[in-house]
Chains A and B, each alone.
Chain A
Amino acid sequence: MIRVVLPHHLRTLARVGDEVQIEVSQPITLGAVLDAVEATYPALRGTIRDHGTLKRRPFVRFFACEQDLSHEPPDAPLPAAVAAGAEPFFVVGAMAGG
């Protein structure tokens, strides 16, 4: 199982707690995890990635294992510790000042 930590507003939207566990088929890539998150929680479609293009929304970031994975392509494999369920994958609302 892949551990995913969502930002506050997406937790309330999906009605989940601090961390969710998602089953993702191999290979464990960035795109596969996001596909699985959206399939499990349809209310999150369009909130992390744009409808249609599936491009990351500008103020959303992806972190894992102290790395910024925001600019990785969808087929990029996630770190082994995430794939093994030892570390969570973070979806983060970017700092936007103010």
Chain B
Amino acid sequence: MSSVRVLVGTRKGAFVLTADGKRENWKVDGPHFGGWEMYHLKGSPVDPNRIYASQTSGWFGQQVQRSDDGGATWQPVGNEFVYDGTPGTHQWYDGTQHPWEFKRVWHFEPSLTDPDTVYAGAEDASLFRTTDGGKSWHELAGLRSTKGNLWQPGAGGMCLHTIVLDPTNPDRMFIAISAAGAFRTDDGGKTWQPINRGLKSPYELPDPDAEVGHCVHRLAMHPSRPGVLFMQKHWDVMRSDDAGEMWHEVSGDLPSDFGFPIDVHAHEPETIYVVPIKSDSEHYPPDGKLRVYRSRTGGNEWEGLTQGLPQSDCYVNVLRDAMAVDSLDECGVYFGTTGGQVYASADSGDTWKPIVRDLPAVLSVEVQTLR
């Protein structure tokens, strides 16, 4: 019997939500690490019981927790993230150069083939890798040499929040940084190139189509088509059909093309999901209606999914790492809100139910499909 395990990171701890393949009755386990900010938890695709969690605190800094039993028990592993060589500087809010300072890990991306290898996206924007199950971390510093001196923090900090691995090419990887843009490596992380052609940021950048500096909120890819990428940018939903060489806008008839997460249906590579947010100044859904928008055409034509979601007086946000899909036959879609709700759909988004309603603000949602 298949089952699913949803890993939820919140401002005040982590929660593990489990259900059988029907996804009707849920068990809520937690909080784990109560009181700590849990930015992200993600399991290894090759060993689902191996889970990595980013535990942070403004007081006590970064911890990395590892579970080898599906989240029942945890052990702290290495928490030393040191920039390679002389860290150098990046652009600061006032236009001056500012030294790189490690603050926290936003996102873990476990290797597709080795449970001991994990990539970590950090603030200040940088990419680290462990090959020993989290004991030690080493920076892939070639990324920051890709015009890193021009990168600058957004309001939420200068964070590397998205890591997408190409399942057909172990040397290819995509990452995204707020506010620097999207980047690709084709040599396993040694060298990188900006992949931001076609992005336009007229209200955020003096040069609207600058090579770097765009506030990319999230990237998504279907594993069967690794050359097709979808992007939720600060404003605009974008698509690339050539691994990021060129992007074009597919916002179409969305009520707002501002938002944070974007994801792809597990079995339909042209079906994508976003959660429109009113604007960069008002981080809540338009008209107080929480709606997931689904396109079955790879963008441009969108339908609002509302059944089971609050359609009045709803002013939560859905953060960039807080949406995920499972790979059961009928694809499940999940997202968490800053109001502490985690919603699940067991029918590709047609209908929704809250799994839990009153968690702390949700930072991240991942789902594991267990068979």
A interface residues, Cβ below 8 angstroms from B = 7-10, 12-13, 43, 45-48, 50-52, 57, 59-60, 93-94, 96
Find out whether the CB atom of A45 lies under 8 angstroms from the CB atom of B79: yes
Q: Which B residues are CB-close (under 8 A) to A9?
A: 35-36, 57, 59-60
Bound together, the chains give a CA A72 to CA B82 distance in angstroms of 26
Q: Which A residues are CB-close (under 8 A) to B58?
A: 59, 96
Q: Is the interface of B mostly helix, strand, loop or mixed?
A: loop
Residue of B nearest to A50 (CB): B61
A39 to chain B, nearest CB (A): 15
Find out whether the CB atom of B59 lies under 8 angstroms from the CB atom of A46: no
Q: Which of B73-106 contact A (CB under 8 A)?
A: 76, 79-80, 82
Q: Is the CB of B63 closer than 8 A to any CB of chain A?
A: yes
Residue of B nearest to A42 (CB): B76
Residues of B in contact, count (CB < 8 Å): 15
Bound together, the chains give a CA A57 to CA B103 distance in angstroms of 12
Which of B57, B60, B80: most chain A Cβ within 10 A? B60
Q: Is the CB of B338 closer than 8 A to any CB of chain A?
A: no
Find out whether the CB atom of B60 lies under 8 angstroms from the CB atom of A47: yes
Q: Which A residues are CB-close (under 8 A) to B63?
A: 13, 43, 47
User: Interface digits, B61-73 against A, CB 8 Å rule (1 contact, 0 not)?
Assistant: 1110000000000
Bound together, the chains give a CA A47 to CA B82 distance in angstroms of 15
> CB < 8 Å: which of B33, B36, B80, B82 contacts A45?
B80
A-B contact pairs, 19 of them (CB 8 A): A8-B35, A9-B35, A9-B36, A12-B34, A13-B60, A13-B63, A13-B76, A45-B79, A46-B62, A46-B79, A47-B61, A50-B61, A51-B79, A51-B80, A52-B82, A57-B61, A59-B59, A96-B58, A96-B59
